[in-house]
């Protein structure tokens, strides 16, 4: 398998070529055949990732391939080198695998859209960017593709750009991400200023030489980037709006590419975070708040995709908790399992939408179990996995995170995470029950729900299998195959011993909590024992708080957007029009005025111009002769 070290470039190249071909030729030649290129290309990428993974797993050492030197500026060398260690290998499998399934799904989903070729140009470009982000061996390359991922998400969220809401959502995603990226960029610059290098290996080697304050600053700035990309509080607002993009894009963003980038980045740069306990604590706290807030919001939403979206935010919060608690492997493990069930949930809701002609509101669904059995069962598996029901994938990884937080000495955070787990289970099963159980609340006269075509159902089945089984690579907890695989990467970080008793205890607790959530959902939406409306009434302000997403958007609107707009208006009215334009216009008027004097010389007669030229020639030649220039002697 070692031969793959020379062929690593295939992994990013295949999607790039697909993107380029569809981009350049798509409009007038490829059109509806765009998937003929894109799907196999991402497939190739996935197939090439497998030997890379096997090689890394077998030899326990990283693979590198130097492609070229991007910036050779004296001492400052930025090589583009592909770097695959265990962490990257896992990410590669997740990214390319999920992306491939999403591509396959998209063939059926986007079929017939006038932007078909455009979609299949952006999608591989997204995969390329993410793969390069994962493969980077250097902060600058990482940053470039960090931005490229942002750009692709902008393009894809705004794919239906004729819809104002989609265009706005795309802009929102881009701008919110830019805020995080700004911090990230400063962090990278700070690294370069203090250490003089941007290569991972050298940075991690020298990070100990820095003062505690500097490391904390760098770590927090880097984490700002992760907050933006991975949708943590307070920058998570873009992710639910990103639902405006086509559903496969949501699946891609939520499961494989975009949002995992932040988690991956923190894990990748863990030596920096390990050097700063303060930063670790901040990460854990932000994660806990995110997990809880997002879970509560998800409970109150009616838009099926938004429920799943807030669920993503919440799960990303869990990953951040793990990162902050130093349970690195648990974070990656959750990322890995989450990719399966989150992609599954999105594709599942996509096929619900497909069956119901783009219906999104769960209040107008119900009883779909009978019409779309395949979608139902796969969605159920995904939901159960997300809710952490034993023995599905989510249970193992989430449980490990909570245990990790507990043993790392963050009991409060562990408790918050447990509370969030209850809400997770509640909103997940709420979604299942509202959508698939109960009476049919959709317009049965016009809508005939049905399971989707094979290109869409195959990914569902594959992902459902993954969601059910992926957890077992990490069994038994803390000692699983997955942990042994990733251990070399996180060698040398403090490792808290976990006693089997703790593990078992927390396993039992979270199972109970998950089942409690399941029961609550069933009671409210299937058995009818509880009236959701009455509960909402009782909770009053708390319910409204959650329903309005904790007023984050409104606060931003009031505190940032409106003052910024006001300031911009001031600049426009006063500075731009009053001073700059006035100066420019004044200069122009001056020119006009002086030109009025000179225009008399313009007779419009070519003959006169020619005469002037000839006169000039005679004078210049004469001047040369008289001045005794050496032109002629």
Contact residues for other proteins, defined by CB under 8 A: 23-24, 27-28, 31, 112-114, 154-155, 158-168, 170, 301-306, 357-362, 446, 602-607, 609-611, 614-615, 617-618, 621-622, 624-625, 630-633
* Nearest-approach distance from CB 91 to other proteins, in angstroms: 28
CB of 73 or CB of 605, closer to other proteins: 605
DSSP annotation of 493: S
CB of 94 or CB of 304, closer to other proteins: 304
Q: Could you check whether the bond before residue 476 is cis, i.e. omega within 30 degrees of 0?
A: yes
Contact 270, 493 (CB under 8 A): yes
Residue where the block lists tokens 């009215």: 573
- DSSP letters, 288-325, are HHHHHHHHHHHHH--BHHHHHHHHHHHHHHHHHHHHHT
* Nearest-approach distance from CB 493 to other proteins, in angstroms: 42
The residues, any chain, with a CB within 8 Å of residue 606's CB and separated by 6 or more, are none
CB of 302 or CB of 519, closer to other proteins: 302
- In sequence order, the β-bridge partners of residue 69 are 79
* Nearest-approach distance from CB 248 to other proteins, in angstroms: 14
Q: Which two tokens stand for residue 170?
A: 């795309």
- DSSP letters, 223-237, are HHHHHHHTT-TTSTT
CB of 580 or CB of 610, closer to other proteins: 610
CB of 113 or CB of 487, closer to other proteins: 113
Contact 229, 177 (CB under 8 A): yes
CB of 31 or CB of 58, closer to other proteins: 31
The residues, any chain, with a CB within 8 Å of residue 354's CB and separated by 6 or more, are 108, 109, 452, 456
CB of 10 or CB of 151, closer to other proteins: 151
* Nearest-approach distance from CB 559 to other proteins, in angstroms: 21
* Nearest-approach distance from CB 301 to other proteins, in angstroms: 6
CB of 358 or CB of 439, closer to other proteins: 358
- DSSP letters, 421-484, are HHHHHHHHHHHHHHHHSSS--S-TTT----PPPHHHHHHHHHHHHHHHHGGGGG-STTTSHHHH
* Nearest-approach distance from CB 13 to other proteins, in angstroms: 21
Q: How far is CA 354 from CA 92, 248, 349, 351, 584, in A?
A: 30, 12, 8, 5, 56
* Nearest-approach distance from CB 275 to other proteins, in angstroms: 41
Computed from CA positions of residues 545, 549, 555, 557, in that sequence, does the dihedral angle turn out positive or negative?
negative
CB of 24 or CB of 580, closer to other proteins: 24
Tell me how long the chain is: 633
Q: How far is CA 503 from CA 117, 388, 620, in A?
A: 50, 15, 96
CB of 504 or CB of 615, closer to other proteins: 615
* Nearest-approach distance from CB 600 to other proteins, in angstroms: 11
* Nearest-approach distance from CB 119 to other proteins, in angstroms: 11
| Nearest in space to 474 (alpha carbons), one of 530, 384, 558, 404 | 404
CA angle 185, 191, 193 (to 5 degrees): 105
* Nearest-approach distance from CB 211 to other proteins, in angstroms: 44
CB of 175 or CB of 412, closer to other proteins: 175
Distance CA 97, CA 99 (A): 5
* Nearest-approach distance from CB 621 to other proteins, in angstroms: 5
């Amino acid at each position: 398998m070692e031969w793959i070290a020379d062929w690593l470039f295939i992994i990013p190249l295949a999607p790039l070529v697909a993107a380029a071909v569809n981009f350049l030729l798509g409009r007038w030649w490829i059109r509806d055949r765009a998937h003929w290129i894109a799907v196999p290309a991402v497939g190739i990428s996935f197939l090439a990732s497998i030997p890379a993974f096997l090689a890394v797993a077998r030899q326990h050492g990283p693979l590198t391939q130097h492609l070229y030197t991007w910036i050779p500026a004296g001492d400052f060398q930025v090589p583009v080198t592909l770097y695959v260690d265990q962490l990257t290998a896992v990410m590669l499998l997740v990214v390319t695998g999920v992306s491939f399934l999403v591509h396959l799904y998209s063939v059926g989903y986007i079929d017939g859209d006038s932007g078909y070729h455009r979609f299949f140009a952006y999608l591989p470009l997204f995969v390329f960017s993410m793969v390069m982000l994962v493969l980077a061996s250097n902060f600058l390359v990482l940053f470039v593709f960090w931005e490229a991922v942002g750009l692709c998400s902008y393009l894809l969220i705004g794919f239906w750009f004729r819809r104002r809401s989609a265009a706005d959502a795309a802009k929102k995603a881009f701008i919110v991400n830019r805020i995080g990226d700004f911090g990230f960029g400063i962090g990278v610059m700070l690294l370069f200023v203090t250490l003089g290098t941007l290569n991972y290996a050298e940075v991690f080697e020298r990070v100990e030489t820095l003062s505690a304050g500097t490391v904390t600053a760098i770590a927090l700035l880097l984490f700002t980037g992760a907050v933006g990309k991975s949708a943590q509080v307070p920058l998570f607002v873009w992710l639910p709006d990103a639902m405006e993009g086509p559903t496969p894009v949501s699946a891609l963003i939520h499961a494989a590419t975009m949002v995992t980038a932040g988690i991956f980045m923190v894990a990748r740069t863990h030596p920096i975070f390990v050097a700063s306990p303060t930063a670790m604590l901040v990460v854990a706290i932000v994660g806990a708040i995110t997990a809880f807030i997002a879970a509560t919001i998800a409970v109150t939403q009616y838009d099926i995709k938004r429920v799943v979206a807030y669920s993503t935010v919440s799960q990303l919060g869990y990953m951040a908790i793990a990162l902050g608690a130093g349970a690195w492997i648990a974070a990656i493990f959750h990322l890995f399992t989450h990719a399966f069930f989150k992609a599954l949930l999105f594709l599942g809701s996509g096929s619900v939408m497909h069956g119901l002609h783009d219906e999104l509101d769960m209040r107008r669904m119900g009883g779909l179990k009978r019409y779309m059995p395949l979608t139902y069962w796969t969605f159920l598996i995904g939901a159960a996995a997300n809710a952490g029901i034993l023995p599905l994938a989510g249970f193992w990884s989430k449980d490990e995170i909570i245990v990790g937080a507990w043993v790392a000495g963050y009991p409060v955070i562990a408790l918050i995470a447990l509370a969030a787990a209850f809400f997770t289970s509640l909103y997940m099963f709420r979604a299942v029950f509202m959508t698939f159980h109960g009476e049919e609340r959709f317009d049965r006269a016009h809508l005939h729900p049905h399971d989707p075509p094979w290109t869409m159902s195959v990914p569902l089945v594959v992902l459902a299998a993954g969601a059910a089984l992926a957890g077992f690579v990490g069994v038994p907890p803390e000692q699983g195959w997955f942990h042994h695989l990733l251990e070399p990467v996180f060698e040398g970080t403090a490792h808290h011993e976990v006693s089997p008793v703790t593990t078992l205890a927390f396993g039992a607790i979270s199972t109970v909590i998950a089942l409690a959530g399941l029961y609550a959902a069933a009671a409210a939406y299937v058995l009818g024992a509880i009236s959701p409306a009455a509960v909402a009434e009782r909770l009053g302000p708390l319910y409204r708080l959650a329903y309005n997403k904790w007023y984050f958007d409104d606060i931003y609107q009031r505190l940032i957007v409106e003052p910024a707009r006001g300031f911009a208006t001031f600049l426009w009215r006063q500075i731009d029009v009053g001073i700059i334009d006035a100066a420019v216009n004044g200069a122009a008027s001056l020119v006009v005025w002086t030109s009025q004097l000179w225009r008399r010389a313009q007779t419009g007669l070519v003959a006169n111009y020619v005469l002037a030229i000839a006169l000039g020639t005679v004078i210049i030649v004469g001047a040369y002769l008289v001045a005794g220039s050496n032109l002629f002697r």
